[in-house]
Homo-oligomer: A and B are copies of this chain.
């Protein structure tokens, strides 16, 4: 219920077309439905055009298809994350307008392509960090950002990174995906005035403790402007990046 329909309701009541009882009943539901949390809904509505997201891990193809059908029917963007090639192919067969990214393990339909604004730069330390990075990149792109990628420029060969310095300085926000010691986030942040969203990955073995070392390294970054998301949470990094860009393109 929006303000217009509320005004109509009141007018009906004043005119006697609506009993006190009925009006009270309607108003009683307001706080959560309309006036109270309609704000939330309105806010949600403003976000429309953003894909609705299905976290695919642990869901069967049937479950995913059922939810996807509803979203697509409404004409919304669709984003299904963390799905293997089998489910991805099935989705691609069912929704030929969408695209399955095997590396990112994402299936996405951009229902209403729009101009990409805000520049998200996604950087990885190694090739093994690419899946998480792609999850971030595709998410940000689907949310309306222009995305560029610089992959495999870890600090073991810091000169490779420096060659991209101008690109780094143009970005509105940078996602840095790195496993092992996660040092790349600090180095990138030292070269940029954009906020750096550090995306630790579980790449590594032994004392990397499945991403813990990268996570701690990024949290302790000596370079200002770094904030961190969960290990392998490419989707989360893409969300944060697109929210920052949302600011940037106002």
Contact = CB atoms under 8 A, between A and B. Distances in A.
SS class of chain A's interface: helix, strand, loop or mixed? Answer: helix
Contacts of A190: 40, 155-158
A126 interface: yes
A94 interface: no
Query: Number of copies of this chain in the oligomer?
Result: 8
Interface string A224-250: 111111111101110110011111101
Counting chain A residues whose Cβ lies within 8 A of the other chain, the interface size class is 35 or more
A40 B159 contact: yes
A90 interface: no
A126 to B, nearest CB: 7
A37 B161 CA distance: 11
Interface in A181-220: 181-183, 186-187, 189-195, 197-198, 200, 202, 204-220
A10 B108 CA distance: 48
B206 A231 contact: yes
> Which of A57, A172, A179 has the most chain B CB within a 10 Å cutoff?
A172
Interface in A128-157: 128, 154-157
A248 to B, nearest CB: 4
A133 to B, nearest CB: 15
A125 to B, nearest CB: 7
A207 to B, nearest CB: 4
A125 B7 CA distance: 34
Given A31-B32, A32-B165, A206-B215, 5 more contacts: A11-B20, A36-B159, A157-B190, A216-B216, A245-B247
